[in-house]
Amino acid sequence: MPGIDEAFCNHFPRSRQLAEKASHVIPRRVTHDARHMLPFPIYISHAVGPRKWDVDGNEYVDYAGGHGSLLLGHAHPKLLAAASEQLAKGTHLGASHELEIRWAQLITALVPCAQKVEFTMSGTEAVMLALRIARAYTGRRLIVKLAHHFHGWYDGVYCALGPEGHAAASLGLPPAALQDTVVLAQNDARALQAQLERREVAAVILEPSGARAGRFPADRAYLQALREMTAATGTLLIFDEVITGFRYSPGGAQEYYGINPDLCTLGKIVGGGLPAGAVAGKAEVMAVMEFGSANPYAKGRVSHTGTYNANPVTAAAGIAMLSEVATGWPTRQAAAAAAELRQALNRVLDSEGISGCVYGESSVCHLHLAPPAHCPPVLPNGNIPADFPIASLLEGDKVLPALRKALLLEGVDILSEHLWVSAVHGEEEISWTAEAFTRALAWLRKEGLVSRR
Ligand X SMILES: Cc1ncc(COP(=O)(O)O)c(C=O)c1O
Q: Which residues bind ligand X (CB under 6 A)?
A: 67, 122-124, 127, 150-152, 207, 240, 242-243, 267, 277
Smaller CB distance to ligand X: residue 223 or 243? 243
Tell the smallest beta-carbon distance from residue 238 to ligand X (Å).
11
Smaller CB distance to ligand X: residue 278 or 378? 278
CA distances from 73 to 43, 50, 83, 241, 342 (A): 19, 5, 15, 19, 19
* CA pair distance 269, 399, nearest whole angstrom: 29
Smaller CB distance to ligand X: residue 8 or 150? 150
User: Which helix H or strand E contains 189, and what residues bound it?
Assistant: helix 189-196
Smaller CB distance to ligand X: residue 63 or 432? 63
Tell the smallest beta-carbon distance from residue 261 to ligand X (Å).
13
Whether 293 contacts 303, CB under 8 Å: no
- Can you say how many angstroms the Cα of residue 272 is from the centroid of all Cα atoms in its chain? 14
Smaller CB distance to ligand X: residue 67 or 148? 67
- Give me the residue whose beta carbon is nearest to ligand X: 123
* Nearest in space to 208 (alpha carbons), one of 266, 131, 277, 128: 266
Tell the smallest beta-carbon distance from residue 68 to ligand X (Å).
7
Smaller CB distance to ligand X: residue 65 or 73? 65
Smaller CB distance to ligand X: residue 148 or 227? 148
Quick one: 295 exposed, middle or buried, by C-beta within 10 A (0-12, 13-18, 19+)?
exposed
Which 3 state secondary structure label does DSSP give 170?
coil
Tell the smallest beta-carbon distance from residue 184 to ligand X (Å).
17
Tell the smallest beta-carbon distance from residue 122 to ligand X (Å).
4
Tell the smallest beta-carbon distance from residue 236 to ligand X (Å).
17
What sections of 76-188 are H helices per DSSP? 77-89, 98-110, 123-138
Tell the smallest beta-carbon distance from residue 241 to ligand X (Å).
8
Full DSSP string of 301-369: S-----TTTT-HHHHHHHHHHHHHHHHSHHHHHHHHHHHHHHHHHHHHHHHHTBSEEEE-STTEEEEEE
Outline where DSSP puts E strands in 151-235: 181-184, 201-206, 210, 216-217
